[in-house]
Structure 1
Amino acid sequence: MSTFRFLYNFRIGFNKKFGVVNILNNCYKSIRILSTMTTPHKLCMVPGPVEFHEDVLTSMSTPSDSHVSPSFIPIFGESIELLRKLFFTNKGQPFIVSGSGTLGWDMVASNLVEPGEDVLVVNTGYFGDSFYECLKVYGAKVTQAKAEIGDRPSLETIADILISKKFKAITITHVDTSTGVIVDVKAIAELVKQKSPDTLIIVDGVCSAGAEEIRVDEWGLDVVLTASQKALGVPPGLSIVIASERAIGVYKQRKSPITSYYASWAHWLPIMIAYESRKGAYFATPPVQLIYALNTSLKLITSIPLETRFQQHKETSNRVKDTIEAMGLRFIPKSREIAANGMTAVYYPEGIQALDLLPKVAGHNILIAGGLHKSIASKYFRIGHMGISVTEPNRGHIDKTIESLEISLKELGYKK
C-alpha cells in the first residue's frame, strides 16, 4: 500500500472527528488493506492468471473514480502509449476494452472479415479450435493448417494452403495455452508476404505477450490480440488489441455492416483516439481500476529493456524444463525447440492422475493447472512461469513450484 493511501485514510478520520479511537480505526483499515496484498496464499502458478505485483494490486485500491475524470484520462492515454512500446510499434492502434482475450477474436471476426471470405487458421490446440469456431459464427469460410497434438504445422504446409485460394486473413496462435506449443510468427509473417501479400496477419498473443518477443512493425503484423491476466501481470478483465494502419484501413473500407455492436471498432476507435489525446470520451464504461493496474504493470515491464525480459523468460523456461526432464517426465510439445517460454505442459507419469497430483501440489501451497486440450485433457498438467515469478527470482516462486512438484510426486510413490 502506498504512503499516500495510508495518509489519505488517516486524514479523513482525523478531519471527521478529533478522537484517538477514530484515528486508530482508520489506521487499522489501512493496515488491513495492506495485509490483503501480502497475506500468505497458495502461489498461482497456472498459465494465467499469474501472480500480481504488489504495486499493481495497490494501484487498484483507489476510491471510486469517474472514467472521464482529470485524474484517470491521462492514465488511460499513457497506457495506450506504453502498449506501443511493448509491441514495438510506432503507428499501431491499441484498443483497451473490458473483456477477456476471447473478445479479441470477436473484434477480428466482426471488423475485418466479411461473410463468405476465406480465413486460414494455424491451429496448435484448443485455442486454435476456438478461434476457428468464432470465425465461423461470423460467416467466414475457414480452412485450418493443423498438426498432431504437440506439434505445429510446417511452413511448407502453410505455404501450400496459402497459394490454394485468396485468404482475407491468417490467424496464428502464438502460444496455445492448451499444449504449450509456440509457433514462429516472424517466419510465418515472412511467408505470407511472399505467397499472399494481401492477407491480413492476425496473432493471438494471449499466452505470449510480455513473455515472448512480438515486433508488430518489423514483422508486418496486422493485429495482435491479448489479455491482461498472463505475462502482462494484471488481474483478468482487459481485452487488449493492437491493429496496424492496414487493418484499420480494411475495417474502414468493408462493404457489409460490422457484425457486432460491442466489438465494433466504429465505436471503440474514437474512444482510444480521444483518451490518447488526453480527452475523455464515452461508449461503454471502462474498468477504471483495472486500467490503473495496467498502467502500473506496463511501467514496471518497460522499466528494463524488453530484450532482457524475454531472455529472463527463456532462461527460466529452460531451468524448469531441464528439472522436469531430469525427473523422467515427458512434455506435450514434440521438442524443446517448439516449447513456449512462459509455460510448460507435462504428461503425468504412468499410474498418476490429475486427482492425485494437483491436490498434492496444492497441499504444498502451489496451484498448477490440469490439461485443457479436449483429446488429452486427463493426461497432463500445466505450469505457468511468467511475469514477476520470472523477473523477480528472489520471490522464490519457481524454486517453490519445482520443489513442491518433486515432493508431491515422491509422496505419490513416483520413481524415475
Structure 2
Amino acid sequence: MTIDRKICMIPGPIEFDEKVLAAMSTPATSHVDPNFVPVFGETIEMVRKVVQSTTAQPFIVSGSGTLGWDMMVNLIEQGDRVLCLNTGYFGSHFAECLEVYGAKVTQLGAEVGSCPSQEAIKEAVSKTHYKFVTVTHVDTSTGVLSDIKAVTETVKSISPNTLIVVDGVCSVGSEEIRFDDWNLDVVITGSQKGLGVPPGLSIVIVSQNALQVVQNRKTPVISYYSNWNKWLPIMQAYESRKPSYFATPAVQLIYALHTSLTKVLSQPLEARFQKHYQVASQFRKTVKEWGLVQVAQSEACSANGMTAIWLPEGVQVAQLVGSLASKGVQIAGGILKDRATQYFRIGHMGISVMEDERQHIKKVELALSKSLSELGYKST
C-alpha cells in the first residue's frame, strides 16, 4: 500500500475531486470579470441550498473557518451574555474568541464524548437571558455530534429572541442541516471539509432575523474586514449578477466551490447524508469489532464525517500515525486538551464516502488493521 502520495483521511482538509482541483487552474481572472460574476452569484445561491434555506444570507469570504467565529463580532455588543455549549476543543476556543469582543461567556460542558443535556440547557437558559447560544454541530476534536434541532427547540421555547449560532465547520456537507425548518440563525463553515474544496474560504450563513439584530445595534461593529455591513451589499450584488468590491475574493477557490457544490446538489441531499451515515456507522462497527472504543459515547452523538478513537494500551499516537503514513494513509492525532496523546482521528467525508470506487475507506481499514498489529495490538 506504499504510494508516493498519501490519501488525506484526517477530519479536514479532505480529498478533493479532480474536477474541483482543475477548476482552480484557471488563468488570472479579475473578480469583476463578466465571466466570473455569475459564477460567484450561483455559488452564493448553492450555499443557501446546501443548508436548506430559501431566505438566509450567505457570506463567502477569503479566510479560514475560524474567521466565521470572528464574524460573530457583528452580533456582540460589550457585555452581551452568550452561552457556549462545549463538546471539545473547538467549543472552548469559540468561547475564547467571543470574549475577545467583549461577550460575557458562560460555557456549559459535558463529559468527554457526550453533549450537554437538554435539561441542563433548559436550566441555563431559564436562569439567564443570553443574546445567543453557540453549539458546535460536530466538534472536530472529539467527533461528537450535537442535536442542533433539539437545542434550538429547547432554547427558543424559553427565550424566543435568543439567537442560535451553529459552528458547522465539520458538519456542513456531511450532516443534515435544515436552516429554515429548524429556526437556525447562523451557520459557520469552511471550504475544506464536507464541501470538498481546498482551505481558504470562510462561509457564514445568516438568518434575516440575525441581520436585523445587527441593524438594530446601539454601537458600531468593532471590526472592518469581518463587518457584515461591508459585505452584505457585495454578496447581494454578485447574486444579482453585478460586480462589486470591498475586498478581493479568492477567485480560484470560488470556481472550485462552484464546481464542488454543483456536484453535491446533483443528487438529493437526503441521499448524501444517508450515505455518510451508512459509511460512518459501518466504520464504527468495524473498529468496535476490533475491540477499539470511540470517543463519542453513543451512536446518537457520533458524527457522520469523522470518528475519534481511543488508543489501545501500549500503542503510541505518533507510532500509529507514522505507520499509516508509510502505508499511504494520513490520519490525525488527538487535539483535546490533556488527552491529545490518548486518541486518534479519522475523517470520512466527501468523495471518500460518496464514491465507492475510490476505495478510500477500505484502504484506511486495511492500513489501520495492519499498523495496529505491527505495533503489538491484538484485536478481540
Question: TM-score over 0.5 for the alignment?
Answer: yes
Q: What is the correspondence of 1:303-314 to structure 2 with a 5 Å cutoff?
A: 303-314=266-277
110, 120, 127: which one pairs with 2:90?
127
Matched, 1:353 2:316: yes
Any idea what the Cα deviations from partners look like across 1:32-77, whole Å, max 9, x if unmatched?
A: xxxxxxx951000000000000000000011100000001000000
Matched, 1:299 2:267: no
Higher RCO (CA < 8 A, seq sep 6+):
2
193, 198, 202: which one pairs with 1:235?
198
The Cα of 1:192 is off from its aligned counterpart by 1.4
Matched, 1:96 2:57: no
How far apart, CA to CA, are the structure 2 residues paired with 1:375 and 1:218?
A: 38
177, 181, 185: which one pairs with 2:140?
177
Percent identity of the aligned residues? 58
Q: Look up the SS of the partner of 2:181 in the other structure.
A: helix
Any idea what the Cα deviations from partners look like across 1:86-116, whole Å, max 9, x if unmatched?
A: 11100000000000011111111x1011110
315, 320, 329: which one pairs with 2:283?
320
How far apart, CA to CA, are the structure 1 residues paired with 2:117 and 2:352?
A: 33
Contact 2:175 2:304 in 1 (8 A): yes
Q: What is the correspondence of 1:5-404 to structure 2 with a 5 Å cutoff?
A: 41-108=5-72, 110-404=73-367
Give, as a single letter, the amino acid of the residue that structure 1 aligns with 2:134. T
Q: Look up the SS of the partner of 1:49 in the other structure.
A: coil
Any idea what the Cα deviations from partners look like across 1:262-310, whole Å, max 9, x if unmatched?
A: 1000111111001001111111100000000000000000001000000
Contact 2:75 2:214 in 1 (8 A): yes
How far apart, CA to CA, are the structure 2 residues paired with 1:216 and 1:262?
A: 25
How far apart, CA to CA, are the structure 2 residues paired with 1:134 and 1:55?
A: 36
How far apart, CA to CA, are the structure 1 residues paired with 2:123 and 2:136?
A: 19
Q: Look up the SS of the partner of 1:163 in the other structure.
A: helix
How far apart, CA to CA, are the structure 1 residues paired with 2:373 and 2:156?
A: 51
Give, as a single letter, the amino acid of the residue that structure 2 aligns with 1:195. I
How far apart, CA to CA, are the structure 1 residues paired with 2:226 and 2:37?
A: 22
How far apart, CA to CA, are the structure 1 residues paired with 2:274 and 2:307?
A: 16
Q: Look up the SS of the partner of 1:160 in the other structure.
A: helix
The Cα of 1:166 is off from its aligned counterpart by 1.1
Any idea what the Cα deviations from partners look like across 1:158-199, whole Å, max 9, x if unmatched?
A: 000001111100001000000000010000111112011110
Give, as a single letter, the amino acid of the residue that structure 1 aligns with 2:331. I
Q: Look up the SS of the partner of 1:202 in the other structure.
A: strand
Q: Look up the SS of the partner of 2:180 in the other structure.
A: helix
Indicate the structure (1 or 2) with the bigger Cα radius of gyration: 1
How far apart, CA to CA, are the structure 1 residues paired with 2:299 and 2:45?
A: 35
The Cα of 1:259 is off from its aligned counterpart by 1.2
The runs of at least 4 aligned residues of structure 1 exceeding 6 Å deviation read none
Contact 2:78 2:103 in 1 (8 A): yes
The Cα of 1:336 is off from its aligned counterpart by 2.1
How far apart, CA to CA, are the structure 2 residues paired with 1:336 and 1:88?
A: 24
List alignment gaps of at least 5 residues for structure 2. none
Aligned alpha-carbon RMSD (Å): 0.8
Q: Look up the SS of the partner of 1:242 in the other structure.
A: strand
The Cα of 1:319 is off from its aligned counterpart by 1.1
Judging by fraction of residues, say which structure has more helix.
Answer: 1
Give, as a single letter, the amino acid of the residue that structure 2 aligns with 1:312. K
Q: Look up the SS of the partner of 1:97 in the other structure.
A: strand
How far apart, CA to CA, are the structure 2 residues paired with 1:372 and 1:188?
A: 25
Contact 2:91 2:139 in 1 (8 A): yes
Give, as a single letter, the amino acid of the residue that structure 2 aligns with 1:390. V
Residue-pair matches, total: 377
Contact 2:110 2:116 in 1 (8 A): yes
How far apart, CA to CA, are the structure 1 residues paired with 2:55 and 2:375?
A: 54
The Cα of 1:333 is off from its aligned counterpart by 1.0
The Cα of 1:144 is off from its aligned counterpart by 1.2
How far apart, CA to CA, are the structure 2 residues paired with 1:255 and 1:284?
A: 26
The Cα of 1:337 is off from its aligned counterpart by 1.9
How far apart, CA to CA, are the structure 2 residues paired with 1:192 and 1:78?
A: 34
How far apart, CA to CA, are the structure 1 residues paired with 2:159 and 2:66?
A: 26
List alignment gaps of at least 5 residues for structure 1. 1-38
Any idea what the Cα deviations from partners look like across 1:2-29, whole Å, max 9, x if unmatched?
A: xxxxxxxxxxxxxxxxxxxxxxxxxxxx
How far apart, CA to CA, are the structure 2 residues paired with 1:181 and 1:259?
A: 33
